[in-house]
Structure 1
């Protein structure tokens, strides 16, 4: 049965304001929890999948603007979260649904935001806000239903922490290791054992690996090389995986040192999103902050190794910088072998994937700058988990 938002929230509008760090101000109604919040203003172009967006740890300390005008119509359920909490710092929608109408719905989006103390704003021109962020770039923002003076709120916005230079993976990672058992294993075969570093991992990622016969040991972001090598017993893990996550890759050092040590041992590696950026830095490449980033479930990417175009799920504000003196068809010489660009975004030519090969041309590690686990989003990129399995098969001879 459809579930209705509480009547008092439907009928009583409490004013709220949104102030960007350049002073641009929007006035609307409070949505979700009352109060005040700060973060980096970013927009996502997905027309659905708001529950997965809200619970994606990569959105930690970000205020998410929904470009789709009508949000909340399918409510909230207990099956679709990608983590155990909402991570966004704030939420901006134009037209929140008055009624949640879906057979899977268990409560309203508004109630869920209140339960997780997420401050939001509704009833503003999100198209104008999105155009402003596209032109000026992602920037700090404040939302308040307790402050009426934009100038006073702007002062607090300017005093808030910027995303550049932020090291956040430790704030969203698991505190204790856990294991996701392998599934769909043919009788008599052993699973591949994967050490997965949780930098902000989404629940569907180890699930997708599990479905391909991988036993996934999810480790805290602060794990050492010894912790990784202890996975799988005396033989160690068959592969290493770095997940998505929030923050500036240039502010990270420990995970890069870990990855370099793993590459020196020729451990097969697969990284996504933040794991792609850290892979680039471990190889000797730089990273940079995009003007407004890629966020949504409709980003076109070309796999240059096959020529196939896939529609993909993105959430990143940083990217790997390819050297200016090399074109995309030339290899970059790293201390671990030749590096090539495997994927590019067809909207703006941003590097979306890297491959590391041995002198004989065989693949030893790879990464992509998007979400192949596709939660929410299309399943075009799920083949990358099969590619990871093949990489481990070639190394072990299984």
Structure 2
């Protein structure tokens, strides 16, 4: 496979030039205007942020992309699917309220918002996945599959279950219906190390299936109820919870790549990674820790694997921020991996997403980086 082109620009602008204009220039340089959008529905897939989280992308970036679509005669809408876990986005009405509270509405973004899998997260299309090894079909939110064109607008960050979250996660996990998310998370169950558990009950608040109870002030996870979503692992501040299946995160990564394949195959797609406010964990939490790396820039490409690989490589070259989760881990005694994602969330093989995505033909890890000033 030939090298993909990934276009990059940093966040520096001259006085009087907004960053949104720089984002537009980047997208144009990357070829977004080569897509025929005239009269076509264009889904802009993004994450609206959980209530309490402040690391999500600002709505002004979404408006910049929507404006480009409208300039080309397209009909844009912002979209995401409902969550598997409790929070402020578990059904469409809550999800729309959350989006509005966080600044996303037709006035601020210039387009409508549609929750892709409907009111209860059950409005899905079962899509055959090309070259799949684990998910022969994927359950994708119907509005995403009804779109003629898909644009991924992703906040690039760390992640407690997949190492990093970028384009592939935005599409694969974010585009799955509630049943689709459960299928991706079903590779393993979580268990508690009672010696490390402090009984703080934070894990139970984050649990996606009410599977955690307390016995003698120690958490206990009911395996028959647990969906394997991993929310409890990220919630525990004492490393008391782990996945009992050693390769569960690898399987999650592979399934996620196959779900992204279901969304991208057989239609035009375009992908943007915004490497800013690079938090250690997912935007699905109702909070966000300090960034682990400085703001790096914006990446755009027609190739979802290449755009993630380019952002990963930029992160690996960046200097970690000392006062952060990554900085604390690097300062602590013990094994260091010289890998920002492994050192940020140890025992998570982040590379598997890209390896499997390339294997099934979603994209290539080989890219040429084109820098735009």
Give the TM-score normalised by structure 1.
Answer: 0.32
* Larger relative contact order (CA 8 Å, sep ≥ 6): 2
If you compute each CA radius of gyration, which structure gives the higher value, 1 or 2?
1
Greater helix fraction, Structure 1 or Structure 2: 2
Give the TM-score normalised by structure 2.
Answer: 0.33
Greater strand fraction, Structure 1 or Structure 2: 1
